[in-house]
Amino acid sequence: MIQLKHKLVVVLSIPCVVCCPTWAQQPKDSVRVHDLKAVEVIGYHGSRGITDVVPGSVLNRENIANMGITDIADALHRMPGVNLRDYGGAGGMKTIGVRGFGAQHTGVSYDGFMLSDTQSGSVDVSRYALDNIESLTLSIGGENDVFLSAREISSAALFRMTTLTERPADHRVHLQTQLKFGSFGYVSPFVYYVQSVSNRVTLSANGEYIYAENDYPFTLRNGIYKTHGRRNNSRMNSGHGELNAYISTGKYGEIDGKVYYYDNSRLLPGIVKYYSDINGESLHDRNGFAQFGWRQHAANGLWSWKAKGKFNWSSSRYRDKYSPNHVMDADYWQREAYGSLAAMFTPTDGLSFAFASDYVFNNLNSSLATDVRPFRHTLLESFSVKYVAPRLVLLGRALYSVYLNGAERGEAAKNGRKLSPSCSLSYRPFSSEQFYIRTSYKNIFRAPTFNENYFFHFGSPRLKPETTDQLNLGVTWQKQFSNRFNLEITADGYLNHIKDKIVAIPYNMFIWTNVNIGRVQSKGVEVSLRGDYQLAEKHNLLFFGGYSYQNVTDREDKSLPDYGKQIAYIPLHSVSGSVKWGNPWVDIVIHGAGYGSRWASNSHYDGTRLAGYFDMGLTCSHRFVMKHGEFSLRGDIKNILNQQYEIVGNYPMPGISYQFVVNYKF
């Protein structure tokens, strides 16, 4: 049983932090300065604000079009330091890791509210439509905004998706309709509605449906022999819809709400091995949530407050028609209740203090006879300080986390509590140059997932949390050489440590179990270059390039054979880039992403090395502006070099394919 006194200790505790100030002045007279849906200061062509105290990337809607990005997974491929797990095809699961940290260490938020899967700890970003996205933001080792919920700073990295936030000045209906179709039976209609029904109330809604056979061809090689096959059991039917409301409560306040539902019934392709990919698995995922947010600013600009609440429900129905007596069939249900309160005090220009307190309740049950019905209470409290001088920005935080675990039918996992500090700095050494130096440190941990704690045989309720330390040093230089040429260069070096890493080891000949034994070190360099050049009137070039070096190795025991080996699925080298020629006729974008060889196992067993690859694409588009609307056409050729590659071992990715997009809005 969870004792009430444990909860009171957390609620009443207020962590203290050494005063370490902030990034940008918080204007006192603006209602939207701290709006959760507001995008951070963005440099041209998708960079972060050059004064940012932590590394990361931003892609706004214009950048997404300029770089020829086709979906959220494609956008993540363009961000340095990102490791994407992709199981192939339009319906393949896609999870994000950053700088050697797994998906469980990367938080994902949707319009300022964290998404979660307490069972696995991984969020599938393929569920969300790029057509509904206003901006994508990746922050590593912290956040630049001081006024955040405690949950938003509780991960090693944060990937934020911000949806369209149009608020028309008129009261008429605004509609956008779109149809995508492409190779392997892919078709996807999308519709978006927005209307300001009064001077204070704006309503919007959108919906998307995706159908794909995903029966793409692939080639397998075994020595001098090669075999051609076609992916099977890969069909998907997916749809989602959401309703949004925005209400202005006056000059200094606002409320917004969202209701979301997702449904995906798909067949699961199996691994391709020994020239066979026969599989009978299927998965039906459903997810619904409702969330609201309230923000209020004092008229004198000294105080700001906000509150957030969310209820989330999800279910998964797994079936395998080839398993004997259907012993592998299972249904899972998750529920989450979340609430957050935050306040910010700005006593003077350039100095801000913020406090946030969050509560989360999660539970899980299944149809399995071994189900212990676990649940978890999470309490998070954060205190932040931010200071801004003309050439110096400082930001400091402390996060106090408490996890209280329980189980209705068995042994509960260990409770945990921890104080996690972080601090960051940005300094401009020369007033005459847009040159900034930044450094940051963050200590954070993650609690074990329900699978790691309770999954039959594999799970262990005695696991300790994984603890991480991140250290970063970077520079940004921006220069406008003339009215025709702009350039920005960013470089970061980092050193990360993970201790008490959760790994599976054999308990006996037949049973494996999760234990805390691992230590991992991640060190690397990220470099990006972006800019634009005006060729002539109405003709310009936009270009971007990125390089990432990630040395992520096992550091547990020098006497063990795995010591010093690169962790599975993380390439040592990766590059990405794009060039767009903008012109009055047809905009053309050439883009690509390349990855060095990787290993499918931490032990680097024979046959588990995955070859490197370079995925290149071509995008052509044109926009027609008409009297009562806007019509656009776009064509994409993906993997134009027809590379045969795998991101996850034995899950081949599609070769060359096409996609067409027709869009009309009025």
pLDDT in tens, 621-665: 999 998 889 999 999 999 999 998 888 888 888 999 999 999 999
CB-based contact 492:518 (threshold 8 Å):
no
Q: Which two tokens stand for residue 341?
A: 């309160």
| Mean pLDDT rounded to a whole number for the chain | 87
If one compares 457 and 178, the residue with the highest pLDDT of the two is 178
Q: Cα torsion at 236, 105, 362, 39 (round to 10°)?
A: -80
Q: Which residues lie below 8 Å from residue 664, measured CB to CB, with a gap of 6+?
A: 176, 177, 178, 629, 630, 631, 632
Identify the weakest region by mean pLDDT among 77-91, 314-328, 375-389: 77-91
- Reported as a pLDDT band with limits 50, 70 and 90, residue 197 is very high
In a domain, 45, yes or no: no
What pLDDT does 501 receive? Answer: 85
What pLDDT does 253 receive? Answer: 95
Look up the pTM and report it.
Answer: 0.88
Backbone angles phi, psi at 323, to 5 degrees: -80, 140
pLDDT in tens, 535-582: 999 999 999 999 999 999 999 889 889 899 999 889 999 999 999 999
Residues in the chain, how many?
Answer: 666
What pLDDT does 255 receive? Answer: 97
Q: What is the largest CA-CA distance in the chain?
A: 76
In a domain, 242, yes or no: yes
CB-based contact 516:499 (threshold 8 Å):
no
What pLDDT does 512 receive? Answer: 59
Judge whether residue 383 has pLDDT over 80. yes
What pLDDT does 223 receive? Answer: 66
- Rounded percentage of the chain residues whose pLDDT exceeds 70: 89
In a domain, 504, yes or no: yes
In the predicted model, what is the mean pLDDT of residues 373-380? 97
CB-based contact 592:574 (threshold 8 Å):
no
Q: In angstroms, rounded to a whole number, what is the distance separating the alpha carbons of residues 73 and 82?
A: 10
Identify the weakest region by mean pLDDT among 55-69, 83-97, 422-436, 570-584: 83-97
DSSP state of 42: B
- Reported as a pLDDT band with limits 50, 70 and 90, residue 10 is very low
Q: Which of 570, 569, 574 is nearest to 600 (CA)?
A: 569
Judge whether residue 112 has pLDDT over 80. yes
What pLDDT does 89 receive? Answer: 59
Give the helix, strand, coil percentages of the chain, each rounded to 5: 5, 60, 35
What pLDDT does 506 receive? Answer: 56
Residue 335: CB atoms within 10 Å: 16
Judge whether residue 304 has pLDDT over 80. yes
In a domain, 38, yes or no: no
Q: In angstroms, rounded to a whole number, what is the distance separating the alpha carbons of residues 358 and 109?
A: 15
DSSP state of 371: -
Q: Which two tokens stand for residue 360?
A: 């989360």
If one compares 477 and 510, the residue with the highest pLDDT of the two is 477
In a domain, 4, yes or no: no
- Reported as a pLDDT band with limits 50, 70 and 90, residue 44 is very low
Judge whether residue 344 has pLDDT over 80. yes
Judge whether residue 45 has pLDDT over 60. no
Q: Which two tokens stand for residue 269?
A: 């392709």
In a domain, 556, yes or no: yes
pLDDT in tens, 20-36: 333 333 333 333 333 33
Judge whether residue 8 has pLDDT over 70. no
Q: In angstroms, rounded to a whole number, what is the distance separating the alpha carbons of residues 262 and 314?
A: 9
Identify the helix (H) or strand (E) that includes residue 173: none
What pLDDT does 88 receive? Answer: 61
In the predicted model, what is the mean pLDDT of residues 435-452? 94
What pLDDT does 316 receive? Answer: 94
In a domain, 203, yes or no: yes
Residue 196: CB atoms within 10 Å: 20
Q: In angstroms, rounded to a whole number, what is the distance separating the alpha carbons of residues 508 and 451?
A: 20
Q: Can you tell me which residue has the tokens 């656009």?
A: 632
Task: Provide the strand spans (E) within 70-149.
Answer: 82-86, 94-98, 106-110, 113-115, 133-140
Q: Which of 237, 183, 189, 238 is nearest to 215 (CA)?
A: 183
Give residue 621's domain range.
56-665
CB-based contact 34:26 (threshold 8 Å):
yes
What pLDDT does 231 receive? Answer: 87
What pLDDT does 272 receive? Answer: 81
Q: What is the CATH number of the domain that holds 278?
A: 2.40.170.20
**Amino acid letter for position 516:** N
Q: Which residues lie below 8 Å from residue 353, measured CB to CB, with a gap of 6+?
A: 344, 345, 346, 347, 383, 384, 385, 386
Long-range interactions of 194-201: CB distance < 8 A, separation 24+: 194/164, 194/166, 194/167, 194/168, 195/168, 195/171, 196/167, 196/168, 196/169, 196/170, 196/171, 197/171, 198/171, 199/248, 200/247, 200/248, 200/249, 201/245, 201/246, 201/247, 201/248
Judge whether residue 430 has pLDDT over 60. yes
In a domain, 22, yes or no: no
Identify the weakest region by mean pLDDT among 9-23, 93-107, 121-135, 521-535: 9-23
DSSP 485-549: EEEEEEEEEEEEEEEEEEEEEESSSS-EEEEEEEEEEEEEEEEEEEEEEEEETTEEEEEEEEEEE
DSSP 297-314: E-TTSSEEEEEEEEEEEE
Q: Which residues lie below 8 Å from residue 59, measured CB to CB, with a gap of 6+?
A: 46, 67, 69, 75, 78, 79, 135, 136, 137
Q: Which residues lie below 8 Å from residue 320, measured CB to CB, with a gap of 6+?
A: 280, 281, 282, 326, 328, 329
* Rounded (5°) CA angle 127-132-135: 100
Q: Domain tally for the chain?
A: 1
b/e map 441-455, b = 16+ CB within 10 Å: ebbbbbbbbbbbbbb
Q: Which two tokens stand for residue 247?
A: 């209400």
Q: State the alpha helices, DSSP H only, in 420-462.
A: 450-454
